[in-house]
Chain A
Amino acid sequence: MEFLLASGIGALTAAGLYLILLRRTFPVVIGLCFLSYAVNVFLFVMGRLTIDRPPIVGVYAGGYADPLPQALVLTAIVITFGMTALIVVLSLRAFLETGDDGVSLDVRTDEKSPDILRDEVL
């Protein structure tokens, strides 16, 4: 169980990092998703692995699972979900407005004008 979870977290992180380093927006978004999955599992196991225990101190239960990581991971899931939704919409808008989905800023400077007040109009 420990080995399975640890290697799962490692695989998700590695996949996420690889995808983030690509030069298109869509893989970057997917990579960010993988990273947030990895961190969610990581947060979940940081309170140690316990099986068949309620996250509350009860009279009849033999013990309890640490409730705090469960609360933290719920918060983290909600936040990363919102952020992911935002970046998906943003990358879609950027693609529709510029016509390409590269992540580079592509600033074309006009070398002929030394005037720093006038800006490059893309």
Chain B
Amino acid sequence: MTDQQLADGAQLLDERAGDAALEAPNYDNDFDVIIVGAGLAGTAAALTLANRGLEPLLIERGTYPGAKNVFGGVLYTPTIRELTDLDSAPLERYIAEKRFSMLSHDDETAVSLKPGAWNREPHNDSYTVLRGDFDRWFAEQAVEAGATLVTETTVTGVVREGGGIVGVQTDRPDGEIRAPYVVLAEGANSLVSEGANLKETESRKNIAVAAKEVLEFPGNDTAIEDRFRLVGDAGVSYHYFGEGAVGEAYGGGFIYTNGDTVSVGVAYSLDDAATKRQSPESTLNLFKSHPAVAPLLRGARTVEYSAKTIPEGGAESMPDLVHDGAVIVGDAAGLVLNNGVHLEGTNMAVESGYYAGSAIAEAAQKGQTGAEALESYPDRLENSFVVQNLERYAWLQERVEEDRELLFEQLPRAIADASTEYFRMDRSPKATHANAAKQRVFDTLGGWTGAMKLALRYRKLVK
């Protein structure tokens, strides 16, 4: 936020409510849309609305947008690029390599992808960012487009009239604010939506818990370039699965390279964390100490520790997105795709905010606030990559859950053992090693029949 914008905001407060403005902003009916939460979904909605000439009010409970936000590390930017100019965005590094790694107790088996095209603009629209920087910048773009941002204000409930939502209640004195539309973009811990009976509390089976650290390498300016084999602004996303990554739980570990730091974390089933007594902190420690991970992090110092829940219920557990006078977007709507190969959510948040903003702008033109007038939001979302991807992978989540012992424990161990056999150095012929290696994997899969069954179970993956 520039000083000028802050001064303008303060002046606005004073003009509208006199000296007590900061105590009790009286914004009643001054705005077209109230947006709860200045994360990526809320800000995308605000930017879309401001770009179309409407006056949105963006309410954030933190001291600035992004102050309370946490995520793994990669932001996919095609939609943001549509909404605003990315040139001044605080991007850390572009993703030049994706690496998928299976960790058993002390083995690693990895696949690495490094397409040359990712080194060229627009870098596959994949960048590491830090939310404290990025969300603040993104909200600034919305303010410059005409949105009003109020921070340090918590929305505690919605205001209803005749069944429809006509505003929000904040924790400021006299803090009721009315507007024709409300966008609920409050994230995974969606207390307002739940309090208003717009969604149910998500079952813990559909929630992942994540613990993350941002690490720096004191006294070693080239640690990141050297260890991750990077040149210039290139960066990596490393994904880890298996018992070496998250013990007996269902989930994974990650490393993302930022400019001068790396983000390291684990995200796994909250249900597993509870039933298997696996605390997020100890799981993170275990992951960082794995023989394949520790050398990448040696000598690092923790500059930030954070934690977050991630809604992973998919399409099935999406709440109704549209109500009379209100829509739900982003994490609050459960728009996260985390199936091991694709780890997405922030791009879905932006997409949903964009469609929600567009739908409201269209309804506002007709002066309608009813749910049916806002239906173009869920309609467009369903035809977009967001819901199509969620639906495509819904069955995969189920399958993987059913086969998880095989996929995350037995198979990685068998593959590691097989590699050990295949490349074993002794005086027997290669054929002996190859047979022994094959046998290891087949024993795990239950022979040809087992392998065929497994292939059939996952055939939709390549369709």
- A and B form one complex: no
Chain B interface (Cβ within 8 Å of chain A)? none
